[in-house]
Amino acid sequence: MTKPRILLIVGGGIAAYKSIELVRLLRKSGMTVRCVITRAGEQFVTPLTLAALSENKVYTNLFDLKDEVEMGHIQLSREADLVVVAPATADLLAKMAAGIADDLATTLLLATDKPVLAAPAMNVRMWLHPATQRNVATLRGDGVTVLDPDEGEMACGEYGPGRLPEPAAIFAAIESRLSNPLASSAVEAPPLPSRVSTSLDTNGSLDHQPDFAPENHRPLFGRRILITAGPTHEPIDPVRYIANRSSGKQGFAIAAAAAEAGAEVLLIAGPVPLPTPPGVIRVDVETAVEMAEEVRQGLPVDAAIMVAAVADWRAADTSAQKIKKDGSGAVPPLALAENPDILAGVARSPDRPPLLIGFAAETNDVIAHAEAKLAKKGCDWIVANDVAADPMGGESNRVHIVSKNGIDSWDRLPKAAVARKLMEKIADELDARSPRHSD
Ligand code: CTP
């Protein structure tokens, strides 16, 4: 797995010197860092210092045509996994909230399609001003992670909230944001266009920029991927249902990672209270029968990943009214009917995707059960999930990818990391099987 890439925007202010320590921490952890420094930031930190520590070129000027040839600003804003603004001044936050793009930093922030984390630093009155608080609320509503500033004595002599959080705290927030893409106030984003529009290039400054080729940065660009996630609920009567403990977290993390990798993602979700990852088209269902129908309608796709913990049985008869106790102590009979096996059904259908992946949560004989399931379901891979030590709903998974070519066992990883690694493997597999769509 490649280490995360950070685009660090260093704003102005006395706290800018702390960004130097932040770069050091990021590099020490193995992350790649590219720095952009605002004109105000240059008053406090030199580009040379940031270049030496990040071991990368530092960008300062939107109109540096040489850079536009080497790397356009649209590309610069998108090749990162996370954009970090530290320190985020009142001015930068205001421009971000209003969508103003009048220099390189703000243009990148407006053009990026990656998550953004901002660490504010400013005078206490500026932080508490209703305008700043309104801007922070707007940004949080837009899905930007805005850290709370530290409280304490400020360089200007006043006391209160407004100090830049310590570099170690910003670093911890970055790690947590990267390992848990669903943790932020993620908002629903419109589906990705099938081609990145060039309408962004209307300010005349990109005349000499080579065409931005999304497929170079997004290994699943042009692919359609269907994912099922979560449990299903099988009603017994209007108030009762049969369910299981699936949290949906792994399936949603996979949908998020697939969208980040450029795929067009259809997520068919059982009842779970998780936000829709940006760029994902979500269809909510309740029962296995509904899920089977939505999957059927979602085909054809390039790959289907069946992560849902589909209930094996439903109530044979559902009561239109709540079933009442009759006082005799007699227990009502609960007859069950078998649900359709969605994965096996897709495997047999004429629309079978070129790559069909099932999940299997097992508590014992994980590999043997996964191998048996691979044959029984007729899919290409089974992602076998060892849930003996960590039952459903946890934050990490230890998985084995079982296919006819053998077993690929991964260490225990956060669910977001499992998702990203799986996307890399899927992209490689699809590229080996067929070239990408060009539409
Ligand atoms: N699956 C499905 N439809 C079902 C049951 C399971 O699509 N009715 C899919 C799951 O989404 C998963 C895979 O099949 O990708 C394996 O699910 P699992 O519940 O482990 O399989 P079962 O056949 O139900 O096996 P078990 O007897 O272990 O429950």
Total domains in the chain come to: 2
Residue 33 placed within a domain: yes
Residue 210 placed within a domain: no
Catalytic residue among 52, 155, 156, 368: 156
Pick from 329, 423, 344, 293: nearest CA to 431: 423
CATH number, position 119 = 3.40.50.1950
- 259 and 291 assigned to the same domain: yes
| Closest atom of ligand 1 relative to the 228 alpha carbon | 11
| Nearest Cα residue to atom 22 of ligand 1 | 312
- 158 and 37 assigned to the same domain: yes
Range of the domain at 137: 5-200
Q: How many CB atoms lie within 10 A of CB 390?
A: 14
- 180 and 252 assigned to the same domain: no
* Segment 356-397, tens digit of pLDDT: 999 998 889 999 999 999 999 999 999 999 887 766 778 889
- 375 and 259 assigned to the same domain: yes
Exposed/middle/buried for residue 388 (C-beta within 10 Å: 0-12, 13-18, 19+): exposed
pLDDT of the residue at 263: 92
Against a cut of 0.75, is the pTM above it?
Answer: no
Residue 116 placed within a domain: yes
- 152 and 240 assigned to the same domain: no
Backbone angles phi, psi at 229, to 5 degrees: -150, 160
- 278 and 308 assigned to the same domain: yes
Helices (H), 119-273: 124-128, 130-141, 167-179, 214-217, 249-260
* Catalytic annotation present for 379: no
Residue 327 placed within a domain: no
Centroid of ligand 1 to alpha carbon of 256 (angstroms) = 22
Centroid of ligand 1 to alpha carbon of 306 (angstroms) = 9
pLDDT of the residue at 217: 56
Centroid of ligand 1 to alpha carbon of 366 (angstroms) = 14
pLDDT of the residue at 27: 95
Q: Tell me the longest C-alpha to C-alpha distance in the chain.
A: 86
Buried b (16+ CB within 10 A) or exposed e, 333-372: eeeeeebbbbbbebbeeeebbebbbbbbbbeeebeebbbe
| Nearest Cα residue to atom 24 of ligand 1 | 312
Residue 27 placed within a domain: yes
Quick check: bond before 300 cis, omega within 30? yes
Alpha-carbon span 340 to 359, nearest angstrom: 16
Residue list, ligand 1 pocket, CB within 6 Å: 228, 288, 306, 308, 310, 312, 339, 341-343, 358-360, 373, 377
Alpha-carbon span 208 to 211, nearest angstrom: 9
Residue 366 placed within a domain: yes
CATH number, position 226 = 3.40.50.10300
Pick from 350, 338, 400, 396: nearest CA to 374: 400
Between β-strands 32-37 and 5-10, what pairing exists: parallel, antiparallel or unpaired? parallel
Q: How far is CA 85 from CA 8, 16, 282, 285, 372, in A?
A: 6, 11, 30, 38, 50
Q: How many CB atoms lie within 10 A of CB 392?
A: 16
- 180 and 248 assigned to the same domain: no
Sign of the torsion angle spanned by Cα atoms 28, 34, 36, 37: positive
Alpha-carbon span 359 to 309, nearest angstrom: 9
- Out of 200, 228, 250, pick the residue that ends a domain: 200
- 188 and 234 assigned to the same domain: no
- 224 and 195 assigned to the same domain: no
pLDDT of the residue at 69: 54
- Out of 172, 200, 228, pick the residue that ends a domain: 200
- 194 and 307 assigned to the same domain: no
Backbone angles phi, psi at 236, to 5 degrees: -105, -45
Residues of the chain falling short of pLDDT 50: 65, 182-216, 438-439
pLDDT of the residue at 201: 32
Answer for the pair 261, 220: CB distance below 8 angstroms, yes or no: yes
Q: How many CB atoms lie within 10 A of CB 116?
A: 25
Residue 165 placed within a domain: yes
- 165 and 240 assigned to the same domain: no
pLDDT of the residue at 214: 45
Exposed/middle/buried for residue 307 (C-beta within 10 Å: 0-12, 13-18, 19+): buried
Alpha-carbon span 39 to 47, nearest angstrom: 10
Residue 329 placed within a domain: no
* Segment 226-255, tens digit of pLDDT: 999 999 999 999 999 999 999 999 999 999
